[in-house]
Every structure is written in C-alpha cells, then in structure tokens.
C-alpha cells in the first residue's frame, strides 16, 4: 500500500504519559485531592473519575494554560497578592513544567481531572505556598475559556496558512494550464467551454471566503474572559486590561456570565471548517470524476493513489475520496457542539468540556486534508487533449450562435428558438454544426451571416467573454496576476 498521509498528524501533540494506576500516590496527587475535596467525605468512584477526566485530551492546551497562568500571576503580583519572590518561583516552576510536558517527561494523572489541576498541583509540589496562591481570583471556568481561545487563535493562524499554501498550489496549476480548455458543466451535462484555470480559480475564491470566515472568528474570539471567575467575577480586583494586553487580547469580556459559558467561537470555527470541508469535498468530487476512464481528464501520481487488493488493474483516488469522506466528521463535530450547547442553562455546565475533542479533531482534519490534497494536486497531470476534445463539441457553442443572432438584431427568445430548431436538425441528421455550410444555418434564420463558422471556435468564444469574472483568457490571466499579487504581498520580506 502506498503511504497516504504524513507520519505525524499535523497539529496533534504526541499523546503524553498518563499517571500509573496502582502506584503509591504522589505528594502531588495528595495536594490535588485537597483542591475541591474539602466538603467531601468519601472518594470519587474510580468509574466517575474515568468518566469525567479531561486531561487525556485537554493536555494539548498545556502551552496556552501556562501562558495564561503566567499573565495571571503577573496581575496578582501587580495587585500585591504575590511577592516578587513568589512570582519568580511561579514563573520558574511553570517554565520547568512546560519543558517537561513538551519533552514528554511529565506524567499526567487522570485523578487530577484536568490539565489545570495537573499543572497547578505540580507547581505547588515544586514551589509550595506560592503555587497555592496562583488560583486566587480565578476559576477553571474562566481558565478553560482563556486557554481555548488562545489555542483557537493559534490554530486559526495555522490552518489559514495551510489554506494559503493550497491556494498557491491551485494557482500554480492554473498558470501552467492557462491554455487548457474543457467543458464546463451544469447538471453534470456539458454546458459551455471554459478554461481549466477558470474552473480551478473558482476554488481559490471559495477558499478565500473560508479564510475570511476564520479571520472573522478570530476577531470575535479575541476577548479576555479571565476575571469572570466561576460566573460572577471576584471580590479580588485584578487589572483585566493589563492581562488582556499581556495575552494579546483586543478587549476584556463585558459580562462574566456570558464569558464563562460562551462557546459561540467554537461553534463558528467548526462551521467555518465544515464549510472548508464542503469546498474540498466538491473539488474531490471533480477530481474523482475526472479521474474515471469515462472522463479521463486527470492522471494522479502513484504516490497519491492506492491499489486494490483484489483487482490488479486498479489505481484509486483514495485521497480525494477520504477528503470527501472526512467532511462528514467536520459536519459531525459542528453538530455535536451545537447540540451540546442548546440546552444549557446559564452559566458554566460540565457539558462544555465536550467542546474540545470535536474542536481538536476539526483542526487536525482540516490541516491534514489541506496538506495531502496540496501534494496530490501538485503531482497530478491533466490530459489536455482529452479535455480539449470534449470541449470541441460545437453543440457547446449553441448559446454563442444565439448570441450572434442577437448581435445581428434578433430578439433573444427568437434566437434561442432558431438555434433550438437548428440543433434538432443537426442531431436528427447526425451531423455536427461544423459540417454545415452557412446557407444551411440561414435556412433557420436570415440573421446568420457567412462568418457563422467562426462563432463555432471555442477559443473565439472564450476570448469574446471579455468581462470581469468571465473565462476569457485575458481575464483569467488578470485574475492569476491579481492572486499572485495578493499572495506575494503577504510573504514576509
């Protein structure tokens, strides 16, 4: 079998070691049990721990959690709630923990429920009382919101970069194939000739709207929730604006109850990624069709196709099929988060923990399909002759004939009718328009002139569509130049 995907899933951290059940409890575990166990007389059932833990997946947010904790600690220091030495030891401790997690040397404990408690207890174990002061004026409810926002910001930038890379690949193909003509289809019936470049640039447009949507999500999510506490802020007043600017947020949230329970930003990202999936799935469908023996418009490279275990002759477009298939996951992730949200009373409810796996999965899936699709398209070869031959059917220029009559003065409805009768005549005789002399055309309308056969050249037809947005070669070239300019303006000098 051919290798279909990179060794490592993009954007996915390696699964980090978990705690070892059965080992003697560490001091850290004991410290943690004290985090919210004050009012409990007995232990959480082991089954409930496994059911409710999130550290097995939210550990992916460790950099964001630590970054937010550092900003929070600085604000505590500014409010004189930490001494300079305490701030110092918290900073050193958190940096150490960050390095250990990044290097896979940190062991997470599901008994500590989530990432926040794992990090906080490890910190307290290392630096003592200073660690125990860190959670002042903070709740995990505002903490998880800030972590998720920081993560989304970063992932939006990453996936937007990949969308750009993919648009660049399409643009390169569009430039190379600027002379390739193929039929454009409606209802999957041949309609009118177009340039392959024009067809491909349609996807650059769709992908640009996907990027725009993600950029809009980024603007709306870039609001600091920290300071909202569990739901009602805190009597301990920290400088929220300072924390916001420390973390690169544009503003602070205006309503603590909204801030801890809002996951609009997750839902709208999932929608933007689902629609990106839709676009890539449509392109997949084009490629799958073009790759059939019946169409024969595209040949995929061996590296991006797979064989059949039974039929030796097969070479399958699995990358495109899996992209189409994985779009289902992107939709599923959106629907699962919307459904999770719809019945929640104000404010934070534990259901909200269910936002993370769909979110992570959608970013991973989107990055992966963009990367693999770019590779497949780079190596694909178009069969220009077959496309051209398919586009050469003069019936595809029936509309051009009608428009020639309009230019000669005939109302469009009558022109349409005349060309319709002409078409029926040609089909009944099994003859092509090109085999018919001008006099035969003139039997159907006196408005046909002796140059009518020139109308039947697809290149003339394309060149005549000289309006912005149309597939005239000069217009498509200008579009390619426009995109090149947009892309190069973004490239860092």
Which residues sit at the interface with ligand ARG, rule CB under 6 A?
A: 54, 58, 114, 140-141, 144, 350, 352-353
317 in Cβ contact with 110 (< 8 Å): no
Q: Which residues of 346-371 are buried (b: 16+ CB within 10 A; e: fewer)?
A: ebbeeebbbbbbbbbbbbbbbbbbbb
Query: Between 141 and 445, whose beta carbon lies closer to ligand ARG?
Result: 141
- Using a CB cutoff of 8 Å and minimum separation of 24, what contacts does 456-461 make? 456/394, 456/397, 456/400, 456/401, 458/181, 458/193, 458/391, 458/392, 458/396, 458/397, 459/181, 461/192, 461/193, 461/397, 461/400
CB of 148 to ligand ARG, least distance (A): 8
d(CA 55, CA 227): 23
Strand residue runs (E) in 263-330: 298-299
H helix or E strand, kind and range, residue 262: none
Q: How far is the CB of 144 from ligand ARG (least distance, A)?
A: 4
Contact 321, 314 (CB under 8 A): no
Where would I find the H helices in 291-349? 318-342
Give the nearer residue to ligand ARG in terms of CB position, either 86 or 114: 114
CB of 228 to ligand ARG, least distance (A): 12
Q: Between 87 and 144, name the residue whose CB sits nearer to ligand ARG.
A: 144
Smallest distance, ligand ARG to C-beta of residue 117, A: 9
Q: Is 484 exposed, middle or buried (0-12, 13-18, 19+ CB in 10 A)?
A: middle
Minimum gap (Å) between residue 236 Cβ and ligand ARG: 19
Write down the least CB distance from residue 195 to ligand ARG, Å.
50
- 187: annotated active-site residue: yes
In whole angstroms, what is the distance from residue 295 CA to residue 185 CA?
13
Catalytic residue among 42, 187, 254, 488: 187
With tokens 């408690």, the residue in question is 117
Closest CA to 355 of 215, 149, 213, 120: 149
Helix (H) or strand (E) holding 185: strand 181-186
Pick between residue 134 and residue 426 the one whose CB is nearest to ligand ARG. 134
Question: What is the DSSP code string of 116-179?
Answer: HHHHHHHHHHHHTHHHHHTTTT--HHHHHHHHHHHHHHHHHHHHHHHHHHHHHHHHHHHHHTTT
Q: How far is the CB of 321 from ligand ARG (least distance, A)?
A: 34
Of 116, 73, 70, nearest to 238 (Cα)?
73
Q: Of the two residues 118 and 353, which places its CB atom closer to ligand ARG in the complex? A: 353
Shortest distance, position 256 Cβ to ligand ARG, whole Å = 14
Shortest distance in whole angstroms from residue 138 CB to ligand ARG: 11
Which of the following is catalytic: 52, 83, 251, 308?
308
Quick one: 235 exposed, middle or buried, by C-beta within 10 A (0-12, 13-18, 19+)? exposed
58 vs 318 by CB, closer to ligand ARG? 58
| Closer residue to ligand ARG in complex, CB, 138/416 | 138
Q: Which is nearer to ligand ARG, 118 or 291 (CB)?
A: 118
Q: Would you call 482 helix, strand, or coil by DSSP?
A: helix
Active site residue 308: yes
* 484 touches 186 (CB < 8 A): no
Residue closer to ligand ARG by CB (options 43, 250) is 43
What's the Cα-to-Cα distance from 289 to each of 185, 329, 361, 380, rounded to whole Å? 12, 23, 28, 14
Active-site residue list: 187, 308
């Amino acid at each position: 079998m051919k290798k279909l995907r990179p060794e490592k899933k993009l954007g996915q951290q390696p699964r980090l070691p978990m705690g070892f059940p059965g080992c003697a409890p560490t001091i850290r575990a004991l410290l943690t049990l004290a985090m919210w166990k004050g009012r409990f007389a007995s232990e959480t059932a082991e089954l409930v721990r496994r059911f409710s833990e999130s550290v097995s997946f939210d550990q992916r947010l460790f950099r964001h959690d630590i970054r937010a904790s550092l900003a929070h600690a600085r604000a505590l220091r500014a409010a004189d709630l930490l001494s300079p030495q305490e701030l110092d030891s918290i900073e050193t401790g958190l940096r150490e923990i960050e390095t250990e997690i990044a290097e896979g040397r940190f062991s997470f404990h599901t008994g500590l429920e989530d990432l926040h408690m794992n990090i906080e207890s490890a910190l307290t174990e290392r630096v003592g009382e200073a660690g125990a002061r860190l959670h002042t004026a903070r709740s995990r409810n505002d903490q998880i919101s800030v972590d998720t926002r920081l993560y989304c910001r970063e992932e939006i930038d990453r996936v937007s970069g990949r969308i750009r890379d993919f648009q660049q690949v399409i643009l390169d193909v569009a430039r190379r194939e600027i002379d390739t003509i193929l039929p454009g289809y409606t209802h999957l019936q041949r309609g009118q000739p177009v340039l392959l470049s024009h067809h491909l640039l349609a996807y650059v447009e769709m992908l640009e709207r996907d990027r725009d949507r993600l950029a809009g999500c980024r603007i709306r999510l870039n609001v600091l929730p920290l300071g909202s506490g569990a739901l009602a802020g805190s009597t301990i007043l920290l400088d929220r604006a300072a924390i916001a600017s420390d973390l690169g947020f544009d503003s602070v949230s205006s309503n603590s109850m909204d801030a801890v329970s809002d996951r609009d930003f997750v839902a709208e990202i999932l929608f933007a990624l689902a629609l990106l999936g839709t676009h890539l799935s449509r392109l997949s469908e084009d490629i799958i069709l073009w790759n059939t023996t019946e169409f024969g418009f595209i040949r995929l490279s061996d590296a991006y196709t797979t064989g059949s275990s039974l039929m030796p002759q097969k070479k399958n477009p699995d990358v495109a099929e899996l992209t189409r298939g994985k779009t289902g996951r992107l939709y599923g992730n959106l629907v699962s988060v919307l459904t999770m949200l719809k019945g929640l009373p104000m404010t934070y409810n534990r259901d909200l923990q269910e936002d993370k796996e769909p979110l992570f999965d959608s970013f991973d899936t989107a990055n992966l399909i963009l990367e693999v699709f770019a590779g497949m398209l780079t190596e694909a070869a178009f069969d220009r002759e077959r496309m051209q031959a398919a586009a050469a059917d003069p019936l595809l220029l029936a509309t051009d004939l009608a428009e020639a009559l309009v230019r000669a003065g005939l109302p469009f409805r009558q022109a349409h009718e005349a060309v319709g009768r002409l078409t029926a005549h040609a089909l009944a005789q099994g003859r092509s328009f090109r085999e018919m002399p001008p006099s035969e055309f003139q039997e159907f309308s006196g408005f046909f002139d002796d140059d009518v056969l020139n109308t039947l050249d697809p290149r003339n037809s394309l060149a005549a569509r000289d309006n912005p947005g149309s597939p005239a070669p000069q217009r498509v070239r200008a579009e390619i130049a426009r995109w090149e300019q947009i892309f190069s303006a973004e490239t860092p000098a």
